[in-house]
Structure 1
């Protein structure tokens, strides 16, 4: 079976089985024995033709008042190797900019989805969680690689009272956790690695390693040693899993990762490796619980430098609520995926933009030197100092606008008929907020494809900026990630000047890959020491 055939089969399997079953139980008994074989064959062919014509090529009838992209458009994009950014530029943005409502329909993980980008519509969806609750991310792909990792009982998946009880434990942990000193120490380790590798390094790889160590140590006190050793056991294992999570075809076509997994033996091995990683998390959680129950406190004196797992268990002990081991593990997996991949991509994109625009790099460096001084030695910023980095913060915000690592927010379901930008959206519709479209629409931003940190010198663009979502479900790790970026970028600016190596394709084209998190692919940079 070809790859394209298997993709299509993944979509057709359940509806066709249902049609065949109905035909077998309701129609065949009334046929003569001689005509049964012909009847079954005819039914399958006719049902297939009808289903493909009316479901694959077109959205549901109640959404056909909106422009749409069909399944084969998505498959064609996949076959061409387009990243989510590439597809946004080639297909979505021209349509969004041409329509007042900015709406269109496209098949996604939960079926046909209405993509929304106008800020007022986005705000309405994010604030009206009763009207637009999150779709079941797990439905239909419970045993896919990514879902097994992040689709458990955690704060991004659950809702209602269950969600509120978890936030009661997790919110205080994130408020108390701000390991600025740890971020600085990891950046110093990064400097040592750059020195060993030479002046030209793979930034994409280094940022992945650096943020993996950050989330490991700040998340649950586990040292991957990724910065020092890219081939360490757990680093290699997690990186293999990360590559698997980013594989577009398994995200868009979940059947390939489940009922058709036998077609992909390498993918099956990844599932086995994920089981090993999850077992390791179970061991870490149990060990941490035992240590704290026996009165062994953290050897870190400053509470805000303790790992999140310790802080969450301590919240339980204070009576703020309790999480089961399964809930703790599921949230740690979420912190990994959201805190590692996204921050790694954001840092890589920031380094790219600062190389692309040397004048902006110099201006950001001047601010870092003004705040931290220009002594020829590594300075670890304090929490108070990073709050003063206004221009570096603008660079980060513009990076997250023009190359936000998460192009789309989780799908929601309209529980009642509603109006978005004057357009009727029927009850039961899957609605998806397109961060990429919002961030690149010329109806929202002046000259949206120009990298311009000054657009964030005031709050002018705040309503159209949503890399961390919004409303009550705003990303819980937003400040954690932003502070990690502030520390690393400011320290890099003081230590180095950087530029593209000679002949780099990134000088003319930004090459990206990944889903649902997008990152620059193979970004290399030449660093020149200042001291």
Structure 2
């Protein structure tokens, strides 16, 4: 009888197994590195720019005062140059001539939004501010602008509501009995309540802790969204699984805000009568019902939440920062403050509240406001854009889908259009007779189809309301 023995399996040494895993990991890492470096290559005809660090590119250069860094780079590479944000090729526009050429003369081409991982995570590229240029953007922009006209500037009663809010604001200041305090909380609430009247048809009291908390989170997220962690997340979305970092705080805040907004929207939509809207939320729900079942409609309950949150941010952050800067510069320049008060006193007799008609009779107040917006750079880099098709600018070729940053700081400090731009001087907006004069290179909220305000709030409305708020505050504090 012949017995056949099966060959015994020789165990693989542990060292060889580890070596195999190590080789596999090295090969994978090398592949990812080569892929990243290929992504970082500038395409033919692309604008030049500062040399990037391998893999991470120029991300760290934007960590602090990015608008100042970008303006300095324009002195080296020209008004249009490129950056590498971790494999995301980006074009930066500097100076009024360059910005106007792209955002005005080629507005359709530069009207899109970049498909960044952060935007996809936060709003799924819906809502208003980060919506891709197209049908959805047009639908939401049209509804927002018509709502702000109909429920806001189109109603004479709205002026009275603004004045009433200013009185609530001044009364809240009086409660401090002349002691020092940080006005940010009160200014933010007062400003936000003007927008809330349009969105919800009602204001929030200054002691509403839930609303206060939401506004604080909004402000924090605005800062986090432009932080280095946000840029890293856009370049390397896989860090979503890293349990620490500011991007995780951003996501937690967003989830909390969306839950709060959902509760608020449900509350303010109670008692709604279809086609008889009381505020923006009602108007949006009307559109949502009318387009139910229509293929391709961008109106959804989720987009309503995103839109309400973005309208609150757009209607609060810009004006809040403008008024806070205004208070600071009135304290820094008492001679300007005295002249502002003198003009207000000459127009508003017997303590009368200001109206929009008074705006034309306060050229110096108007000049001060415009100089604050120019000098303090409320939105220095605007909102990131993207090219909707291949573009040609100054002899360079910019492919479709390229992210675009507009450095509005460089526009307002463009020596070609501003004498001594580093000097705070309201007189630059006045002619020899003391009349207010608009300046061509004044773009506090960008330019073109997808500009910051035209995307969310009608620019004419805000251009009227900010001076009135400023006049009300100055008039009541004089």
What TM-score comes out, normalization by structure 2 length?
Answer: 0.77
1:399 aligned partner: 372
Match of 1:126 among 103, 113, 123: 103
Residue 467 of structure 1: how far off its partner (Å): 1.7
1:340 is the counterpart of 2:316: yes
Match of 1:440 among 405, 408, 413: 413
Q: Give distance in 2, aligned partners of 1:494 and 1:349.
A: 17
1:92 is the counterpart of 2:67: no
Runs (5+) with no aligned partner, structure 1: 1-31, 299-306, 497-529
Alignment of 1:376-387 (within 5 A): 377=351, 379-387=352-360
Give 3-state SS (helix, strand or coil) of 1:225's partner: coil
Match of 2:168 among 189, 197, 202: 189
Q: Give distance in 2, aligned partners of 1:223 and 1:258.
A: 41
1:66 is the counterpart of 2:48: yes
Over 3 Å counting, the alpha-carbon distance change for 1:34 and 1:238 in structure 2 is: closer
Q: Give distance in 2, aligned partners of 1:109 and 1:204.
A: 35
Residue 354 of structure 1: how far off its partner (Å): 2.2
Q: Give distance in 1, aligned partners of 2:429 and 2:61.
A: 37
Residue 345 of structure 1: how far off its partner (Å): 0.8
Over 3 Å counting, the alpha-carbon distance change for 1:135 and 1:308 in structure 2 is: closer
CA contact (8 A) 1:97 1:441 kept: no
Over 3 Å counting, the alpha-carbon distance change for 1:467 and 1:225 in structure 2 is: same
CA contact (8 A) 1:117 1:438 kept: yes
Give 3-state SS (helix, strand or coil) of 1:263's partner: coil
1:40 is the counterpart of 2:24: yes
Q: Give distance in 1, aligned partners of 2:387 and 2:319.
A: 31
CA contact (8 A) 1:141 1:254 kept: no
User: What RMSD over aligned residues (CA atoms) do the two structures have, in Å?
Assistant: 3.9
Over 3 Å counting, the alpha-carbon distance change for 1:136 and 1:406 in structure 2 is: same
Alignment of 1:429-508 (within 5 A): 429-457=402-430, 462-474=439-451, 475-476=453-454, 477=457, 478-496=459-477
CA contact (8 A) 1:106 1:113 kept: yes
Residue 283 of structure 1: how far off its partner (Å): 4.0
Q: Give distance in 2, aligned partners of 1:369 and 1:315.
A: 46
Of 167-176 and 247-256, deviating more is: 247-256
1:163 aligned partner: 137
Residue 350 of structure 1: how far off its partner (Å): 1.7
Q: Give distance in 2, aligned partners of 1:429 and 1:343.
A: 30
What whole-Å deviation, never above 9, does each CA across 1:257-300 have from its counterpart, x for those lacking one?
Answer: 974365238975764554343234334434544423179885xx
Alignment of 1:165-180 (within 5 A): 165-176=139-150, 177-178=152-153, 179-180=158-159
Q: Give distance in 1, aligned partners of 2:275 and 2:90.
A: 51
Residue 64 of structure 1: how far off its partner (Å): 7.0
Residue 107 of structure 1: how far off its partner (Å): 3.7
Over 3 Å counting, the alpha-carbon distance change for 1:175 and 1:418 in structure 2 is: same
Q: Give distance in 2, aligned partners of 1:283 and 1:410.
A: 28
Over 3 Å counting, the alpha-carbon distance change for 1:185 and 1:449 in structure 2 is: same
Residue 33 of structure 1: how far off its partner (Å): 10
Give 3-state SS (helix, strand or coil) of 2:89's partner: strand
Alignment of 1:215-364 (within 5 A): 215-226=195-206, 229=207, 232-247=209-224, 248-254=227-233, 259-260=239-240, 263-264=243-244, 271-272=251-252, 274-293=254-273, 307-310=279-282, 323-364=299-340
Q: Give distance in 2, aligned partners of 1:125 and 1:249.
A: 27
What whole-Å deviation, never above 9, does each CA across 1:149-187 have from its counterpart, x for those lacking one?
Answer: x95233651422333333443332222212322221111
Give 3-state SS (helix, strand or coil) of 2:369's partner: helix
Q: Give distance in 2, aligned partners of 1:452 and 1:69.
A: 37
Q: Give distance in 2, aligned partners of 1:429 and 1:322.
A: 24
Runs (5+) with no aligned partner, structure 2: 1-15, 292-296
Over 3 Å counting, the alpha-carbon distance change for 1:282 and 1:233 in structure 2 is: closer
Residue 115 of structure 1: how far off its partner (Å): 0.6
Over 3 Å counting, the alpha-carbon distance change for 1:253 and 1:42 in structure 2 is: closer
Over 3 Å counting, the alpha-carbon distance change for 1:276 and 1:338 in structure 2 is: same
Q: Give distance in 1, aligned partners of 2:18 and 2:247.
A: 45
Residue 426 of structure 1: how far off its partner (Å): 4.9
Q: Give distance in 1, aligned partners of 2:393 and 2:247.
A: 40
Q: Give distance in 2, aligned partners of 1:363 and 1:315.
A: 48
CA contact (8 A) 1:412 1:432 kept: yes
Of 191-200 and 40-49, deviating more is: 40-49
What whole-Å deviation, never above 9, does each CA across 1:384-408 have from its counterpart, x for those lacking one?
Answer: 2234332222222221112122112
What whole-Å deviation, never above 9, does each CA across 1:318-366 have from its counterpart, x for those lacking one?
Answer: 99x9954333332211211111111111111122222222222222222
Give 3-state SS (helix, strand or coil) of 2:449's partner: helix
CA contact (8 A) 1:155 1:167 kept: no
